[in-house]
Amino acid sequence: MSNNKKRLTAAAHVWANEWQHLEGRQLLETVINGPLAGRVAVSSSFGAESAVLLDMVAGIDRTIPVIFIDTGRLFAETLGYRDRLTAHLGLRDVRTVKADEKSINDADPNGDLYLSNPDACCNVRKVIPNASEVSGFDVIITGRKSFHGGERSNLLTAERSGWQIKLNPLAHWSQTRIEETFLLRQLPRHPLVDSGYRSIGCSTCTHKAAAKAGVRAGRWCGQQKTECGIHTIALA
C-alpha cells in the first residue's frame, strides 16, 4: 500500500464517521468541496433511478468524473439514456469503461458464462474494469438506497471500503422521495421504466418486476445473487 493510501486510510475513518451524519445534497457539497476535492468520482449505471443522484451532483460540479461500466450486455435503451441524461444535465466527464476483448474472450469464449457462473461473468465484465478505473479516486459516490433491501438494507451514507470511502447520499431516501424528485426536477426517465423494469442492468440478467416485489427483484431472477460486486468488493 502506498503512503498516500495509508494516510487516507487513517483519515478516512474520521471523515466517514463525520459524514454519516449528513445526507443528500448537504453531504455531496461537503465532500465535493472538502479535503478530498478533486479526488471524488461518481459511479452510475444510468439505470431507473440514476437521474436523481446525477442531477444533484451536476448542481454542484458538472466536471466530476462519472464512471459508467459498459458490460457489452446492456440494453440499447440504457446507452441511449446515458447520452440523453448526460446532455440534459450538462455532465462533462462521463467515462464509459469496458473490459478488454481478450479478457472477455479468455473468461467467456462462448458468451454464456452468465448462465453457468454469473459471479465470474460480473467479475470480468464489471468488477475488474471498475476497479481499474475507481482506483484513481479516494471517494466513490453511489446511488444505492437501503429501501432496495438485501445487502443494501443497512447502508450508511458514508462508509469505508478498503482504503477508499464510499458515499451513499441517498441511502436513507424512500421510494416516494425519489419519485417526488423526478417530478419536481422534471428529470427524464429511463425508457424501460414505463415497461415495468424497476432496476436495470444487463439485458441477459434483468427482468421486469411486479409492483409488489422488491425493487431489485428483477435482477438475477431465481438466483441467490443480488449484487454484481462493484460496490461490495473493496480495493486492496
Q: Which residues bind ligand SF4 (CB under 6 A)?
A: 71, 73, 114, 118, 121-122, 125-126, 201-202, 204-205, 228
Strand spans (E) along the chain = 40-43, 66-69, 94-97, 139-141, 158-161, 164-167
Q: What is the C-alpha to C-alpha distance for residues 145 and 70, in angstroms, rounded to an integer?
A: 22
Q: How near is the Cβ of 209 to ligand SF4 at its closest, in Å?
A: 15
Q: What is the C-alpha to C-alpha distance for residues 98 and 128, in angstroms, rounded to an integer?
A: 9
122 is catalytic: no
For ligand SF4, the closer CB: 5 or 73: 73
Query: Which among 133, 6, 121 has a CA at the least distance from the CA of 66?
Result: 133
Q: How near is the Cβ of 43 to ligand SF4 at its closest, in Å?
A: 15
For ligand SF4, the closer CB: 33 or 116: 116
Cell numbers found for residue 141: 459516490
Q: How near is the Cβ of 202 to ligand SF4 at its closest, in Å?
A: 3
Residues 6+ apart with CB under 8 A from 101: none
At residue 43, what are phi and psi to the nearest 5 degrees? -105, 125
Q: How near is the Cβ of 205 to ligand SF4 at its closest, in Å?
A: 3
Query: Which among 57, 214, 204 has a CA at the least distance from the CA of 126?
Result: 204
Residues 6+ apart with CB under 8 A from 95: 65, 66, 67, 68, 133
Is residue 127 within 8 Å of 228, Cβ to Cβ? yes
For ligand SF4, the closer CB: 181 or 206: 206
Q: What is the C-alpha to C-alpha distance for residues 22 and 157, in angstroms, rounded to an integer?
A: 7
Residue entry with cell 438494507? 153
Q: How near is the Cβ of 107 to ligand SF4 at its closest, in Å?
A: 10
Catalytic residues: 228
